[in-house]
């Protein structure tokens, strides 16, 4: 089994600040929707991920720490569209029932418990969880990363319908290339971190 404290000699969990992703040492930036929310924008954001990483999506490691609460989502349209997917990720064990340790982390009272972390090597798991994190209130937490060691990048979804990027070391080329690629879609806007100043491009 892959040790969670060190996935390879070139990456450790300390590369990511789990208390605030944008506070990670090599956080590069993010993209988000420009206008009002729509389910179509979720599909477009996922398509941007697939369009850039293509077949290499299968080279990634999926790192997840997410809980669920069936009572939190009451939007009829969201339940109708994503209810089956929500049940599927529960059945796969990709999300877990809330526990005291994870709740303490969510409230900022403790660090992310290592026992809450799960690994997958299926890029479809990342895409499914990303869809839910962009709209479904039943999935609790934010830790959902596609980590591509060969491309030196960690990608995460967020609830403003888009993805953020953290480089695994000082080489930010892939992260910047991905965000530049996403900036060509006029439904989204991109923000880059340059010397700790976040600017729209």
Task: Let me know if residue 159 belongs to a domain.
Answer: yes
Could you tell me which residues come within 8 angstroms of residue 197 by beta carbon, excluding any fewer than 6 positions away?
none
Is 1 inside any structural domain? no
The answer to whether residue 4 scores a pLDDT higher than 80 is no
Rounded to an integer, the average pLDDT of 87-116 is: 93
pLDDT at 5 over 70: no
Do the domain assignments include residue 77?
A: yes
In a domain, 79, yes or no: yes
Residues with Cβ within 8 Å of 37's Cβ and at least 6 positions away in sequence, in order, are: 135, 161
Taking only the tens place, the pLDDT of each residue in 51-97 is: 999 865 567 899 999 999 999 999 999 999 999 999 999 999 999 99
Q: pLDDT tens, 116-171?
A: 999 999 999 999 999 999 999 999 999 999 999 989 999 999 999 999 999 998 89
pLDDT at 14: 82
Contact 166, 154 (CB under 8 A): yes
Q: How far apart are CA 196 and CA 199, in angstroms?
A: 10
* In a domain? residue 68: yes
pLDDT(7) > 60:
no
Count structural domains, the chain.
1
Say if 86 falls within a structural domain: yes
Range of the domain at 149: 6-200
């Amino acid at each position: 089994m892959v040790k969670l404290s060190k996935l390879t000699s070139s990456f450790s969990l300390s590369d990511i600040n789990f208390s605030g992703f944008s506070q990670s040492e090599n956080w590069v930036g993010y993209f988000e929707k420009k206008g009002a929310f729509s389910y179509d924008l979720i599909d477009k954001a996922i398509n941007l991920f697939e369009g850039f990483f293509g077949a290499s999506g299968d080279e990634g490691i999926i790192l997840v720490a997410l809980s669920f609460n069936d009572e939190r989502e009451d939007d009829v349209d969201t339940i109708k569209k994503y209810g089956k997917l929500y049940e599927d990720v529960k059945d796969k064990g990709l999300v877990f029932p809330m526990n005291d340790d994870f709740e303490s982390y969510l409230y900022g009272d403790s660090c992310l418990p290592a026992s809450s972390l799960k690994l997958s090597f299926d890029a479809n798991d990342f895409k499914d969880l990303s869809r839910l994190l962009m709209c479904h209130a039943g999935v609790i937490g934010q830790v959902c990363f596609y980590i591509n060691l060969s491309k030196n990048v960690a990608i995460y979804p967020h609830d403003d319908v888009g993805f953020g990027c953290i480089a695994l070391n000082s080489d930010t080329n892939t992260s910047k290339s991905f965000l530049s690629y996403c900036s060509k879609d006029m439904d989204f806007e991109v923000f880059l971190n340059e010397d700790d100043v976040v600017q729209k491009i």
